[in-house]
Amino acid sequence: MRTFYDILSINKDATHEEILEAYRKKVIEVHPDKGGNTIDFMNVRKAYEILSNPDMRTKYDKWIKKKELDINRDKWLFFIQSFLTNVCKNENLILIIITFLKSENNSFVYQYLNNTPSKIIAAEIIKKCLQSIRNTHPNLNLQCLELDSICNKIIIQAEPKTKVNNKNNNNKYIIIPLCCIIAWIVGLIFLFGLGNKNSTGKISNTNNTSIVSENTAPEWNCENKTMAQDNTLKDEEDSWQENQAKLSEEIEQINEIEQYEETIFHTGDCPYKTYYGKGKFNRNSLSELTLINKSERDAVVLLCSRGNNVIRNVFIKSGDTYKMKHIPNVECIIKVMYGHGWNKNKVNNQNSFKGGFMEDVSFSKTKWSDVFSFIPEKTANSYKYPTYTVTLHKVINGNLKSEYISEEDFFS
């Protein structure tokens, strides 16, 4: 992730004098009148504006740490979820572990880890989670112990083996002298080879033919390498310019995000009515969908038909129940956003939609294999309209499967 420190080519602990010196140098380099790029020029000025202000710099540093943690956490969440799917058959326990890891309060579990996910570290993370989950979910104690045992086996198998059989020990006494002899022969060849080296950087052999030394690379190879480097730099520059406008927009929202004014919604309100309206209704339809929010977080539910057409968008407070009525004759899935603290000015990902939760945010959706069909069934004398009840919470042995999705998938 490129930051304003990268733009000015300074360290994160740079002093005010170093920031000013770097700014003066950079602003000349990228100035449009000197052949520079307008976007780069604007970003250099924005970088100095933020980093030269102690209060803004402090907030920006916090923002960087949170971004880096979010990126690292998303990477690990995806890896751990795939890992759990392979080693654990209990879907309810998998859901609890992932929810546990998504909580801001539990980010300590993996925020200091190496950026490269591995099965060994994933197993250690899961073991830490299981210690807390056994206390909060005693009914899953047996499943937790089974998964803990699997994690222990993975960790033990990955440890380097210290035992060496006798056959390998005997081979040592043969291999070591042999290596010494080979090294002695190579040394002699090297000494005689140096004596035959001529002034052109080539080595003459007994047949007077020229052999190019390793220090002299063919010309075509150098040209190709230079061209590859130029193409790489061009790709990085294009990508860099595309990302700078987004970065500047995000930084302008730092104060707003940290000091937002919470919007209070009530169950049944439509938080995205500006974009989706209040919903689509069929007054002749008796189809209903009852939503029970037993989660500890508030929720926004999108009822989506095929083609990602949003039929309804509704806010449901934690602990409340809401009933959707007069649903059109379509097949649907539901997407759910959970969280706390609604900020009406929050910009969602790269989407133009504004408004969202600020804390403990997660997204999920049901699968099309568990479609909600609101198409009435014709009987002898009338129509039979379907009704459903969905609990927005992890339910043991529940008959409805859901999956975690990204913020981008929720709004697409």
Whole-number Å distance between alpha carbons of 409 and 412: 5
Whole-number Å distance between alpha carbons of 412 and 309: 10
User: How many other C-beta atoms are found inside a 10 Å radius of the C-beta of residue 151?
Assistant: 22
Which of 282, 281, 284, 321 shows the shortest CA–CA distance to 301?
Answer: 321
* 247 close to 2: Cβ distance less than 8 angstroms: yes
Which of 74, 70, 61, 411 shows the shortest CA–CA distance to 251?
Answer: 61
pLDDT at residue 204, as a whole number: 37
| Placement of tokens 């940290």 in the chain | 258
Our CA dihedral for 348, 349, 350, 354, rounded to 10 degrees, sits at: 10
SS3 72: helix
* 101 close to 110: Cβ distance less than 8 angstroms: yes
Mean pLDDT by 10 residues, the chain (412 residues): 87 90 89 83 88 88 79 78 85 84 65 67 84 83 87 78 48 62 67 46 37 35 41 48 56 53 89 90 93 90 92 93 94 92 79 80 88 91 91 65 81 83
> Identity (one letter) of the amino acid at 248?
S
pLDDT at residue 402, as a whole number: 77
* 295 close to 317: Cβ distance less than 8 angstroms: no
Whole-number Å distance between alpha carbons of 378 and 223: 74
pLDDT at residue 163, as a whole number: 45
Whole-number Å distance between alpha carbons of 22 and 28: 10
Which of 260, 346, 255, 261 shows the shortest CA–CA distance to 57?
Answer: 255
Whole-number Å distance between alpha carbons of 337 and 298: 8
Whole-number Å distance between alpha carbons of 340 and 25: 44
Full-model pTM: 0.42
Helix 119-136 to helix 54-87 angle, to the nearest 10 degrees? 90
| Placement of tokens 């807390």 in the chain | 132
Q: How many residues are present in the chain?
A: 412
pLDDT at residue 242, as a whole number: 55
Which token pair is 283? 């007054």
> Identity (one letter) of the amino acid at 376?
P
